[in-house]
Chains A and B, each alone.
Chain A
Amino acid sequence: MNILVFVESAEGKIKKTSIEAVVYAHAMGGAVTAIALGSVESSELEALGKYGAKKVLHASDSKLDQGIIQAYASVLVSAMKDEQADTLILANSSLGTPVAARVAAKIGASLASNVVELPNTTSSGFVVKRSIYTGKAFAHVELKNAKKVLGLKKNAAKIKEVGAAISVTPYSTSLVDADFATKITSSEKATGEVLLPEANIVVSGGRGMKGPENWGMLEELAKTLHAATGCSKPVSDMNWRPHHEHVGQTGVKVAPQLYIAVGISGAIQHLAGVNSSKYIVVINKDPEAPFFKAADYGIVGDAFEIIPKLTEAIKASK
């Protein structure tokens, strides 16, 4: 089996979820080629060898600095052909997921997104386990075609080093105008922040925080924990926080090691976005808040008193 792994980068660095994809591909067995598009630091690319890539391709064409879905799909299809890869693996993301769809349609591959663990190839065919019903269930699906495209959910593989850094092979593309039918005119992006879907720890606030002026204490806690900040839907609806921080059924689905929910009641639609977290801490003044039923650790009390104390206690423990 020849596997191509599409690795995404942000601010020149390979995303953690993409490193998981390389580790996943290596654990599947077979020859793993990783490919990155647009500008990425070369040391980052070389390091992919440590996670199991036998070859690293870099399509550094500056036209690919912007994540154009169609253009990316075209490059991946031609790289699969050149590398004689039958399987494409990538991390699900706002770019990876739509790109996976187009690649699968172009090459006639069996497609599965939100895959949560290594495929089972022992019993009947090539079977993957994927998360469905917004984390409320799983489906085991057989991918029957010789060609396959797998989108991975965060934590589908545990990052570990299995080899050494390797040199990077430039990959030249032959893109056509039609690949750039959509034009990105500008973007707004938080820099230097921990990205919510990638974060190991998330500090999230709800309507119980009373107003945007009170987010300082959550940001302070997040900074102390090197965490990303999230929020409930009403909080982003009221513009207390930017939309990309909205967690839940209709927002970002997170899968951190630790999710700290402050002043969030725990409506089922919010829980749908956090049920893949390893541990959940709930801080709420109402002992009857439904979120406690989904929590591992809970504190009943006033967030405005507890959060500063918690931040101090964490600082003191370091």
Chain B
Amino acid sequence: MKILVCISHVPDTTSKINFTDNNTKFDSNGVQFIIGPYDDYALARAIEIKEASGATVTVLNVGPADTEPTIRKALAIGADDAIRVNAEPTDSFFVASQIAEQAKAGGYDLILMGRESIDYNSGVVHGIVGEMLGMPSISPVMKLEIEGNTAKLAREIEGGKEFLEVNLPFVAGCQEPIAEWKIPNMRGIMSARTKPLKVVEPSAVDSGVKLQKFELPAPKGSVKMISPDNVGELVTLLKNEAKVL
């Protein structure tokens, strides 16, 4: 079985977000980058499947050269090889088009992604790729078991979950508790250095969206503290000041 895992390279979840160039560029100064947390679940599940029943796991990232440490980390966690499409991931449609092209060429049985990237949070790349490849797409997936040519999945819905069956190949956007995040060990880190990482150039895509500018939310006002002995005051404030009760 061949599994493709698409990983985004995103600011660490504790990062402060800032912009430069008149609010048109992300300020990466002092920011640590990680594998997208949801993508990390997808990767962990792919490695589990590989360990249980044999599979090759390829990781794919659409990004410039500075995403390579993130890709190497995925190799250290246990992926066999990697592809980097050498381009800025400007928008979902562009990224999905590049992924679809690589996926077609590679002939994968299973394409795993995160439910959403934590920079753009669109939650759409898997759906677009599914449509482009004419495959089912399922997200957000919290459980995935493969039995021969079929998969059994659980998908989270508001207030619960639903259980599904689908034949391979398909695209899934993953989230916890599909697997536990894996931490690379020393051997993994050593072997990752020599695993193949193929760099390919993007194909031209006519994107329908164009970023104009970024904006930061207004800073929060200061907190009003209320004595634990006067809980009634909180109720009064919520009623008369905040007007939310």
Contact = CB atoms under 8 A, between A and B. Distances in A.
Interface of A: 10, 66-67, 69-70, 73, 92-95, 97-102, 104-106, 108-114, 124, 127, 129, 131-145, 181-190, 193, 195-198, 200-201, 225, 237, 242-244, 249-250, 257-258, 268-269, 272, 275, 278-279, 281-282, 292-302, 305-306, 309-310, 313-314, 316-317
A111 B93 contact: yes
B167 interface: yes
Interface in B159-178: 159-167, 170, 173, 175-177
Given A182-B165, A243-B142, A244-B159, A111 B130 contact: no
Contact of B224 (A102, A105, A296): A296
B131 interface: yes
Contact of A98 (B139, B239, B244): B139
A182 B245 contact: no
A292 to B, nearest CB: 5
Interface in B129-186: 130-132, 136-140, 142, 155-167, 170, 173, 175-177
A108 B97 CA distance: 12
Contact of B223 (A70, A145, A183, A298): A298
A255 B195 CA distance: 44
Contact of B209 (A66, A108, A141, A183): A141
Given A70-B130, A306-B231, 11 more contacts: A94-B157, A95-B157, A111-B92, A124-B212, A141-B211, A183-B166, A188-B160, A189-B162, A244-B158, A258-B245, A305-B228
Interface string B202-245: 00000011111111110011011111100110111111001011
Contacts of B166: 181-183
B29 interface: no
B4 interface: no
B131 A101 contact: yes
Given A129-B215, A136-B217, A250-B38, A102 B128 contact: yes
20 contacts: A66-B162, A69-B137, A104-B124, A129-B215, A136-B216, A137-B19, A141-B210, A141-B212, A185-B165, A193-B159, A196-B158, A197-B158, A243-B156, A244-B159, A244-B160, A279-B238, A293-B223, A299-B225, A299-B226, A317-B236
Nearest to A312: B231
Contacts of A293: 220, 223
Interface centre among A101, A145, A200, A309 (most CB of B within 10 A): A101
Contact of B244 (A101, A279, A306): A279
B137 A310 contact: no
Nearest to A146: B208
Nearest to B135: A181
B223 A292 contact: yes
A67 B158 CA distance: 12
B122 interface: yes
Contacts of A243: 142, 156, 161, 176-177
B17 interface: yes
Nearest to B92: A111
B124 A281 contact: no
Interface residues of B, number: 78
A142 B212 contact: yes
B71 interface: no
A112 B124 CA distance: 9
B30 to A, nearest CB: 15
Contacts of B176: 243, 250
B20 to A, nearest CB: 13
B182 to A, nearest CB: 16
Interface stretch (B53-61, B76-84, B113-121): B113-121
Nearest to B213: A140
B136 A182 contact: yes
Interface centre among A100, A111, A225, A258 (most CB of B within 10 A): A111
B123 interface: yes
Contacts of B14: 268-269
B32 interface: no
B36 to A, nearest CB: 10
Given A98-B127, A101-B127, A189-B160, A299 B234 contact: yes
B156 A144 contact: no
A138 B225 contact: no
A143 B130 contact: no
B96 interface: yes
A134 B10 CA distance: 12
Contact of B159 (A108, A185, A189, A316): A189
B137 to A, nearest CB: 6
A181 B123 contact: no
Contacts of A138: 214-217
Contacts of B227: 299
B13 interface: yes
Given A111-B208, A138-B214, A97 B164 contact: no
Contacts of B214: 132, 137-140
A70 B136 contact: yes
B11 interface: yes
B126 interface: yes
